[in-house]
Structure 1
Amino acid sequence: MSQVGVSRLRDYTADSRLLYVSGLASALGAVAAVAAWCLLMLIALATNLFYFHQWSFLERDPWEANLRWWSVFIPVVGGLIVGMIARFLSPRVRGHGMPEAVETIVFGGGRVQPRVAVLKPIATAIAIGSGGPFGAEGPVIVTGGAIGSVLGQLLTMSDSERTVLMVAGASAGMAATFNCPMAAILLAVEILLFEWKPRSVVPVAMACVTAGAVRRLLLGPAALFVMKPQTQPVYHQQMLGALIIGVAAAFFSLLLSKAIRLSEKMFHKLPFHWMWWPAIGGLGVGIGGLFFPRALGVGYSTLQLMILNGRHTEVKILVGILVVKSLIWVFALGSETAGGILAPLLLLGGAMGAMLGRAMPQMTAGSWVVVGMTSTLTGAIGCPLTSAMLALELTRNAGIMLPVLLACMASYGVSVLVQRRSMLTEALSAKGLHLSREFSVDPLETMLVSQAMHTSVFALNSDARVEEAKVWLRSMEERGAISWSHWQRIFPLVDAEGKLTGMLTRGRMVAAAQNGDSESPLADFAVADARTISPFHTLKAAAASMATYQLTSYPVVASDGKLLGVLTIEDLLKGRTQQDQRENSRRRVLRLRWPFGAAPQTVADAVTEVPPNMSPTRDEDETASH
């Protein structure tokens, strides 16, 4: 008999490949950091070329240039170039990057075209440098992920390992862009990995730490935004204000998400090829920039201004961001040009927080801006822990962690109730793909084979003759169709000590009864080397084995070879049934006794009614009559 694997239950399933993949991820983190630095330099170069007509890598914003009426057409030119790159070189450069990365990770086996690693940053630099109101982090995530995917495709790897490398590169790109290695790790856990396993978390963390270290060499160790520390204690008034802003951020992100979907539908109705859409979106960007120049570009300098001034930021700047920046960003995203969403969400959320912060209790300047920007990011893409840690790493201000965390969790709690899809999964849903953002322990992982198997099994002696198969077949035919629906479809052969010596399927039993000589050994028709399973395997391992070997039943055999029972594919539902009972069967398990106001619990009170459509547990003592 060949047992399916050896039962060695452990807390973790990682093996020595973890070290190999982690080493590759560390090197990948350094490469992703350099790629992020190159993208930032390309954006600065494109901005200088488009608006200042200079070959320079000095970081400047488009609004610092002397804008004229013809400046309206600069984003149009940039959008036209992006559209041509997408049309003739690779359509994968379109979009803000995050949904595309998730789609590749979950549905694409971590495979990305190598050209995307080059074309995506170029298209992004052109889109942002020409005034596009986007961020660099989304495209950097795609670029880093593409580099990791290409590395995984060059080496002999499984799809899971290739996906880990892709996520490691993507997270490292974000870590290098924002100088936030811890937030990048959490982003991978909350959005990109879709699992919590050492085999994936350790390589991603190694990549992010390496990227953070290399980033310090290239761009310096300073935080992205300067902020005065919050040294005073945060009391209940500030916490209540954070709660209010968190709830407001959830509805604000919902409004932005719906506006983006509406914009995308409008562009899809245009009688033009999608190559022209980025140019049309650029026209909207140019017009908006003419009215409010600070709406152009990434907007880090404007966000820094709001953090320094807090609620004392000029109202016209806040209104311009909330109105003009929102409109041109939504319009440009609908055109499916290249550009990220994280930086715009931070800027829009920061403006919302600064506006509402005017009515909130006093905190350090910029605190309400940070609360607003992180809670809006949470509501938009569903990453409360990432957003909270991002606030700490962007500002190095640990004193505002409590209100930030409360606002993020409030935004997250409300957004999951009012939004069917986030900005990340909305695009996937439009393609007919479904993706759940909830993760839990697989109930098949918590139940062993011994807890679900049938123990009342019709077994035959190893020296049985074909005559016994003939008797069995006559009995089945006499009872009719109902007997053929019985759960047992395999028939073990056991010796005098109860050890499994062979196994017959139902088809082999019928063949033996119809064609065999009555005195012939039934073992001649049996499978001598049948696959078995240990009682200490999990149901998840059993399900995987059934899928691999295309089997629906397994004899359950102890380490000494004795037959203990039979596990069928229907038994795998037992774990799911217990999970359904755990989630849907509601009852009181503790009652207060007199003199606390309630009558003593009676036997009737302790009886739990079986929920509707819930079958009772099978009686393991039932016998199979054949």
Structure 2
Amino acid sequence: AFIVVNYAPEAKGHGVPEIMDAYARRGGKIRFRVPLLKSLASAICIGSGGSCGREGPIAQIGGGVGSLIATKLKSDARTTKTLVVCGVSSGIAATFNAPLGGTLFGIEVIAGGIVGFSIIPVIISSVISTAVVDTILGSQPSFQAPFFVMSNYLELGLYFMLGLLLGLVSVLWTRGFYKIEDFFESQKISKYIIPTIGGLIVGVIAIIILVIEDSTAYMGAFKPGEPYFPAVMGVGYAFIDAALLGTVSLVALAIFGIAKALATSVTLGSGGSGGVFAPTLFIGASLGGAFGLLFYTFFPSVVIEPMAYALVGMAALFAGSGRAPITCIVIIMEMTSDYSLILPLMIAVSASFLVSSLIEKESLYTLKLERRGIHVRRGYYISALREVRVDHVMTRSPTVLSPDMTTAEVLKIVDKTQHTKFPVVDDMGLVVGCLITEDLFRESEGEERQYQVKDLMSGDFLHISPDSTMDSVLRAMLERDEGHAVVVNPTIPNVMVGFITKADVLRAYQIAIVRLQEAGEPVEAIDPLETIDIM
């Protein structure tokens, strides 16, 4: 607590959101002290029994080292961000002996997608880090899982059900995690005392689990002479091994999964330092294994390998909470050296990702930033748009169409203006819809009939107020999958005062970046061509 409170607040919690924040709005700049203090704080937390993982710390440490190298080389923002992703990816790859999974984690989670200029150095850094670790420590999978075989394709339906279930669980896991963090932050007591209280709570949970472990004859997959932690304490890999090997009962799996979620939330919510990836795998393995054993009990002829559901559950829960579906499929296969369950992994991950995305917009990583007012989408700092109002960038006198215009008349206007989107205004001056030229060309192609604008326009259009901020406009456009909006008079319904398109959003972004730079914020201006995919 002393280290985090006094020297590096960024070291608190699971670390990945802080990297995403640095990547999105600070050009990849990470303070030099952060990776050093993060490693120390996380080592103390995990070593003393805190319920958390090591991927968050290693990602933040790797990203910090990448940022430090970029600073020493006096690199520009683009190169700095690339080196940060290289550091994160190489750290994950080395930790889990998963070079491809580490590469995808950095690109999918931190960068928000495959970026042409950065993918090659990211791949190379992951390969080198994995090779170094394999040379020193040897090459072996993170988990000792048996080789699973799916011989009955009817099971794909059950794996789909598991994905749907864990999609719901991932939302509860994400929201519950931050609810507990809110509880600790709302307490009006010393910041040095709160982690102590959190540690006591985790200790009580561990004692309860000790009793359950003894009663279920589960004592983990430990070798003689090794120190023993109750399953919910520490990283929890021994328990995951036991779950995959089928040595844990159905009841114990369910109880341990819930207990791990609570213990991790308390550990990190009270000020501990560690990751959430390993706990997410623990919870997914527990609930997935319980699901498999339950259906094996009633349908033994269908469910051949019940503990295969534990492996698939790990990927499905991370897909729903981390929103990195490709990463979790690949990294689980690499961590177990088992590539035989690719079909169950794909269908369960897809179902989980779909359900969680429909219920909760943010991931376990981005929700932390969203709660701070930082809106990150595909790696760009959207909250900068809060500084720009709609009436500052809107087109005040756009070219408008009449509902009774024919396609021939509209085509002349399109040829003259080169515009692709038009508001439609009736004789009373009220906006009644919008016309996109793609719809016009699609409907009129190859036909002699002359359509009118009212036949082709959309009456369901996005309308906004001139005093709205551009960040809210962009979020509305993303939600509706539209690239335009009509600005209406806030006091007189349907009276248009302006029009907003993609170009206006990008211009607003540039204005916002310039304002932040003038205020001394370390952010980078970007080429509008790089952001066109946000639409």
TM-score when scaled to structure 1?
Answer: 0.58
1:449-488 paired onto structure 2 within 5 Å? none
Question: How far 1:602 moved relative to its partner?
Answer: 9.0
Are residues 486 and 611 of structure 1, via their aligned partners in 2, closer, same or farther at CA, if it must alter by over 3 Å? Answer: closer
**In the alignment, residue 261 of structure 1 is paired with which amino acid?**
Y
Counterpart check, 1:210 vs 2:128: yes
Task: Work out the number of aligned pairs and report it.
Answer: 394
Task: Find 2:240's aligned residue among 300, 303, 307.
Answer: 303
Counterpart check, 1:349 vs 2:261: no
1:147 alignment counterpart: 65
Question: How far 1:588 moved relative to its partner?
Answer: 8.7
Which segments of 5 or more consecutive residues in structure 1 lack a partner in the other structure? 1-82, 440-483, 488-569, 591-600, 617-626
SS at match of 1:176: helix
Question: How far 1:265 moved relative to its partner?
Answer: 1.4
Q: Distance in 2 between matches of 1:346 and 1:143?
A: 21
Task: Find 1:256's aligned residue among 173, 183, 188.
Answer: 173
Q: Distance in 2 between matches of 1:205 and 1:425?
A: 24
Counterpart check, 1:110 vs 2:45: no
**In the alignment, residue 318 of structure 1 is paired with which amino acid?**
L
Which segments of 5 or more consecutive residues in structure 2 lack a partner in the other structure? 210-229, 297-301, 381-395, 400-416, 424-433, 462-483, 487-498, 500-535
Post-superposition CA distance 1:379-404 (Å, at most 9, x none): 00101111111121011111101001
1:270 alignment counterpart: 187
Are residues 154 and 234 of structure 1, via their aligned partners in 2, closer, same or farther at CA, if it must alter by over 3 Å? Answer: farther
Task: Find 1:245's aligned residue among 162, 169, 174.
Answer: 162
Are residues 589 and 213 of structure 1, via their aligned partners in 2, closer, same or farther at CA, if it must alter by over 3 Å? Answer: farther
1:312-391 paired onto structure 2 within 5 Å? 313-358=248-293, 359=295, 361-364=302-305, 366-391=307-332
Task: Find 2:38's aligned residue among 106, 120, 130.
Answer: 120
SS at match of 1:194: coil
Counterpart check, 1:420 vs 2:361: yes
1:545-560 paired onto structure 2 within 5 Å? none
1:393-542 paired onto structure 2 within 5 Å? 393-437=334-378
Question: How far 1:436 moved relative to its partner?
Answer: 2.1
Question: How far 1:315 moved relative to its partner?
Answer: 3.1
**In the alignment, residue 354 of structure 1 is paired with which amino acid?**
G
1:21-170 paired onto structure 2 within 5 Å? 83-170=1-88
Preserved contact between residue 111 and residue 379 of structure 2 (Cα < 8 Å): no
Question: How far 1:325 moved relative to its partner?
Answer: 1.6
1:532 alignment counterpart: none
Question: How far 1:223 moved relative to its partner?
Answer: 1.0
Q: Distance in 1 between matches of 2:172 and 2:265?
A: 11
Preserved contact between residue 307 and residue 365 of structure 1 (Cα < 8 Å): no
Q: Distance in 2 between matches of 1:315 and 1:486?
A: 65
Preserved contact between residue 182 and residue 389 of structure 1 (Cα < 8 Å): yes
Q: Distance in 2 between matches of 1:583 and 1:157?
A: 44
SS at match of 1:126: helix
Point out the structure with max Rg over C-alpha. Answer: 1
1:610 alignment counterpart: 457
Preserved contact between residue 228 and residue 365 of structure 1 (Cα < 8 Å): no
Are residues 428 and 583 of structure 1, via their aligned partners in 2, closer, same or farther at CA, if it must alter by over 3 Å? Answer: farther
**In the alignment, residue 333 of structure 2 is paired with which amino acid?**
L
Question: How far 1:486 moved relative to its partner?
Answer: 10
Post-superposition CA distance 1:229-275 (Å, at most 9, x none): 2345451x111011000011111011111111211211121112333
Question: How far 1:574 moved relative to its partner?
Answer: 5.0
2:106 alignment counterpart: 188
Post-superposition CA distance 1:180-236 (Å, at most 9, x none): 11111111222111343321111111111111111211221111112222345451x
**In the alignment, residue 610 of structure 1 is paired with which amino acid?**
M
Q: Distance in 2 between matches of 1:583 and 1:433?
A: 35
Post-superposition CA distance 1:331-386 (Å, at most 9, x none): 22221320100000000011010111121532446310011111000100101111
Q: Distance in 2 between matches of 1:410 and 1:581?
A: 35
Q: Distance in 2 between matches of 1:176 and 1:167?
A: 14
Preserved contact between residue 247 and residue 411 of structure 1 (Cα < 8 Å): yes
Are residues 362 and 104 of structure 1, via their aligned partners in 2, closer, same or farther at CA, if it must alter by over 3 Å? Answer: same
**In the alignment, residue 320 of structure 1 is paired with which amino acid?**
I
Are residues 320 and 219 of structure 1, via their aligned partners in 2, closer, same or farther at CA, if it must alter by over 3 Å? Answer: farther
Q: Distance in 1 between matches of 2:5 and 2:97?
A: 34
Are residues 414 and 583 of structure 1, via their aligned partners in 2, closer, same or farther at CA, if it must alter by over 3 Å? Answer: farther
TM-score when scaled to structure 2?
Answer: 0.68
Question: How far 1:160 moved relative to its partner?
Answer: 1.1
**In the alignment, residue 423 of structure 1 is paired with which amino acid?**
L
Preserved contact between residue 149 and residue 341 of structure 2 (Cα < 8 Å): no
Q: Distance in 1 between matches of 2:435 and 2:135?
A: 55
Question: How far 1:86 moved relative to its partner?
Answer: 1.1
SS at match of 2:142: coil
Q: Distance in 1 between matches of 2:127 and 2:420?
A: 43
Question: How far 1:158 moved relative to its partner?
Answer: 1.0
Are residues 586 and 230 of structure 1, via their aligned partners in 2, closer, same or farther at CA, if it must alter by over 3 Å? Answer: farther
Are residues 195 and 380 of structure 1, via their aligned partners in 2, closer, same or farther at CA, if it must alter by over 3 Å? Answer: closer
SS at match of 1:240: helix
User: Which region of structure 1 is more displaced relative to structure 2, 187-196 or 296-305?
Assistant: 187-196
Task: Find 1:177's aligned residue among 95, 104, 107.
Answer: 95
User: Which region of structure 1 is more displaced relative to structure 2, 403-412 or 264-273?
Assistant: 264-273
Post-superposition CA distance 1:509-552 (Å, at most 9, x none): xxxxxxxxxxxxxxxxxxxxxxxxxxxxxxxxxxxxxxxxxxxx
Q: Distance in 2 between matches of 1:166 and 1:284?
A: 36
SS at match of 1:274: coil
**In the alignment, residue 266 of structure 2 is paired with which amino acid?**
F
Q: Distance in 2 between matches of 1:253 and 1:98?
A: 17
Q: Distance in 1 between matches of 2:151 and 2:452?
A: 48
Q: Distance in 1 between matches of 2:291 and 2:202?
A: 27
> Percent of counterpart pairs with the same letter?
28
Are residues 584 and 413 of structure 1, via their aligned partners in 2, closer, same or farther at CA, if it must alter by over 3 Å? Answer: farther
Preserved contact between residue 227 and residue 366 of structure 1 (Cα < 8 Å): no
Post-superposition CA distance 1:445-479 (Å, at most 9, x none): xxxxxxxxxxxxxxxxxxxxxxxxxxxxxxxxxxx
Question: How far 1:95 moved relative to its partner?
Answer: 1.2
Are residues 271 and 398 of structure 1, via their aligned partners in 2, closer, same or farther at CA, if it must alter by over 3 Å? Answer: same
1:530 alignment counterpart: none
**In the alignment, residue 121 of structure 1 is paired with which amino acid?**
S
Q: Distance in 2 between matches of 1:228 and 1:583?
A: 57
**In the alignment, residue 336 of structure 2 is paired with which amino acid?**
T
**In the alignment, residue 458 of structure 2 is paired with which amino acid?**
P
Are residues 270 and 231 of structure 1, via their aligned partners in 2, closer, same or farther at CA, if it must alter by over 3 Å? Answer: closer
Preserved contact between residue 261 and residue 334 of structure 1 (Cα < 8 Å): yes
**In the alignment, residue 410 of structure 1 is paired with which amino acid?**
A
Q: Distance in 1 between matches of 2:12 and 2:332?
A: 29
